[in-house]
Amino acid sequence: MLQKKNYINNTFYGRLITTSCLIFAIVLLMSCSKSGGTLSSPPDTNGRDTATITPPNDPAFASTIGFFGSSWVAKTFTAPTYNLVTASSNAPGAYVTVDMSNVITKVSKNVFGNNSLLWMGQVVDQANLMGYIKDLSPNIIRGPGGSTSDIYFWNQSSAAPIDAPDSIYQNNGSSPVSAGYWFGKNTQSWTFSIDNYYQLLQKTNSNGLLTINYGYARYGTSNNPVATAAHLAADWVRYDNGRTKYWEIGNECYGNWEAGYKIDVSKNKDGQPAIVTGNLYGTHFKIFADSMRAAAAETGKTIYIGAVLLDAPAPSWADNTNQTWNQGVLTTAGSAADFFIIHDYFTAYNTNSSASDIFASATSIPNAAMTYVKSQLSTYGVATKPIAMTEWNIDAVGSKQMVSNIAGLHAVVTLGEFIKNQFGEASRWDLANAWSNGDDMGMFNNSEGDAEPGASEWNPRPAFYYMYFFQKYFGDRMVNSTVTGDASVLSYASSFSSGESGVVLVNESSTLKNISVSLKNFIAGTRYYWYTLNGGSDNNSFSGQVYINGVAPSGSTGGPLTYSAIKANAAVISGNINISLPPYSATFLVAENKK
């Protein structure tokens, strides 16, 4: 109790509680001195009548966040340099109400993660890219790279172990194909070595999340391929020596595109079936986890090991592996896993999705995924544990959606929904990939091979700017906010431990919106500051450009490279905050509190 009391008294939350208690006492004395005295309703002035302040709650992290929240720190807002402007006088068409007393959750820093790739090059000597990633502050960077994890030998430079066959089943093939293994000790310029992965973490102040090669436990031809693959994973834990806390056993192991999903049983020596099942994966998971935890204990470090689940019911046409995957994993290894891993690419596969379809996926998928996984845990008697979406993006193709301003707005809404639905970790796919005529998920232009025409090396694409401003101007606690009057306007609100209110406003429509923001249970200060990001006029609704407070991009795509030096807009707080939102835009707003 003493520790809790000291914590409360040394935060903004404690100051609010102390202030409201004092005011309540004064009001109580006044009412006692008057026969039948009542307190009239205060004017709507964003908390300037301090008698209306309700102290905020301070919830603990949900079990779906758990240990991913251990890196949480209180955030102090520092006012940016600004241009003082006149507040919007347009009549509002939508109303945003923020209740600073209603805290939904503390914000896990690990929801801002990203993915590294084995084919993005030995990038740690690229000063511009390292600077961008450091500014982005993903906090966690996953490696070594999606499906390639299941054909990856971290301790080899050019040749796979003798028991790894030259040909294996991949990509739903009817016959084995060349394995195409990847190697962690390969230092050639076109790939990304394991030691440079660790350098990337160090240079960008990030933590690691590593996916071990589960596929090797299936296609390996030794007498005991599971033990052999688990030993390889344990040796990696020893080599890592505590640099990485979070580990995954395989990548999307239920997928027929994954190495290890199907094996050549004529080469297998421990009686495994041709097609993997959730039950088999769960049985193998426990062997891996035991070996890896023993290795971590030798180094005196703590690690957390995640198991792969599906985040939605398998469609009726899916195979038995997918239909029963979660049941098999949870009944065999549910208690052995420290956390659970899901992936989602939100929009319909390989579809020319519209902007409205993309936005709809951002608001629906995180809640649906979290609801489904929690229900699966309950159904199979497994305690709720941290949930990590270690790959996410949009799968829209055909109109350069993935590299567009709309993808940036999708990232904003997705981050807000991840926080609201209390995910412990999330990593966007991916840092740098290719171009593919705009059908590419990379956050940065990769100059290797298929580069973006006319773009500078490592040019940041729109999603970078949106994710940068979101994290910078979102506080350490999410608070409740509601929008009335216009369904195309979204709001995600937060509080800083230093007292300020942060509000993210998204306009998902193609027309300008005038908004009025009311901050309840908040003692307003002098000014509010904001940055508005919106697309250009190129490529219809899928602009590849980003403007920041009207500052144009540095090139034909992306945004202004002077993003960190652009001045905020600022206006004086006088009653509700009125602001205009351009078409397809996000505004990141912070209001001062009264000190």
User: pLDDT class for 31, splitting at 50, 70, 90?
Assistant: very low
- Residues 6+ away with beta carbon under 8 Å from 253: 150, 214, 215, 260, 261, 276, 281, 308
Please give the average per-residue pLDDT across 223-242, as a whole number: 98
Residue 45 confidence (pLDDT) above 90:
no
d(CA 446, CA 468): 19
555 residue type, one letter:
G
Residue 9 confidence (pLDDT) above 50:
no
User: pLDDT class for 326, splitting at 50, 70, 90?
Assistant: very high
Q: How many CB atoms lie within 10 A of CB 166?
A: 11
- Residues 6+ away with beta carbon under 8 Å from 90: 514, 578, 580
The maximal CA–CA distance of the chain, rounded, in angstroms, is 93
| Per-residue pLDDT, 3 | 32
**Could you tell me the CATH superfamily of domain 139-344?**
Glycosidases (3.20.20.80)
Of the listed ranges 44-58, 101-115, 313-327, the one predicted with least confidence:
44-58
Domain range list for the chain: 139-344
248 torsion bin: left (phi>0), alpha (psi -120 to 50), beta (else): beta
| Per-residue pLDDT, 51 | 54
d(CA 244, CA 237): 8
Report pLDDT digits (tens) over 403-421: 999 999 999 999 999 999 9
Q: The dihedral of CA 565, 570, 576, 580: what is its sign?
A: negative
| Per-residue pLDDT, 50 | 52
130 residue type, one letter:
M
